[in-house]
């Protein structure tokens, strides 16, 4: 089984800034542990601050992978183009958020991606990613 994990803008700063919202763990350390606990899954990780690069990666893997875990960061709330890419591919996509976006500012309550995705997981910190991976195993 092949799963792609995609992180959008500013998520490269995880563990370095705003720990009260996003926690103090660095994504790479979390990802290494998660990979070790799913030896049967072939993971690829991709992070970009650029909308086009995120779309290119979704298109590149979206016809051959078994699942995509997507945290599009702030593009979640703005990007029709990423939503179109999610709709265009055949691989199911699960939208994730580290924070509970519904407890935050109103503009974070709307996602352009959710209705194009298989499901949405938010508010469980970095464990949101593991829960999304689990969703591909059931």
Q: Which residues bind ligand CA2 (CB under 6 A)?
A: 10-11, 13-14, 17-18, 22, 71, 73-74, 76, 97-99, 101, 108
Establish whether 22 is a catalytic residue.
Answer: yes
Contact 41, 2 (CB under 8 A): yes
Establish whether 75 is a catalytic residue.
Answer: no
- Please state, in angstroms and rounded to a whole number, the distance separating the CA atoms of residues 116 and 110: 13
Cα four-point dihedral sign 135, 85, 91, 47: negative
The residue from 22, 30, 65, 75 that is catalytic is 22
Cite the beta strand spans of 60-135 per DSSP E. Answer: 67-71, 93-97, 119-122
Residue among 28 and 42 whose Cβ is closer to ligand CA2: 28
Residue among 61 and 97 whose Cβ is closer to ligand CA2: 97
The residue from 30, 75, 97, 129 that is catalytic is 97
Question: Annotated catalytic sites, by residue?
Answer: 22, 97
């Amino acid at each position: 089984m092949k799963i792609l994990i995609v992180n959008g803008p500013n998520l490269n700063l995880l563990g370095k800034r705003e720990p009260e919202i996003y926690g103090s763990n660095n994504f790479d350390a979390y990802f290494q542990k998660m990979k070790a606990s799913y030896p049967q899954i072939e993971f690829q990780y991709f992070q970009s601050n650029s909308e086009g690069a995120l779309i290119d990666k979704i298109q590149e893997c979206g016809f051959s992978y078994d699942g995509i875990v997507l945290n599009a960061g702030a593009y979640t709330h703005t990007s029709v183009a990423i939503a179109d890419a999610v709709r265009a591919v055949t691989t199911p996509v699960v939208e994730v958020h580290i924070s509970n976006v519904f407890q935050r500012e109103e503009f974070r309550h709307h996602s352009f991606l959710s209705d194009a995705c298989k499901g949405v997981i938010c508010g469980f910190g970095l464990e949101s990613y593991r829960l999304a991976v689990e969703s591909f195993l059931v």
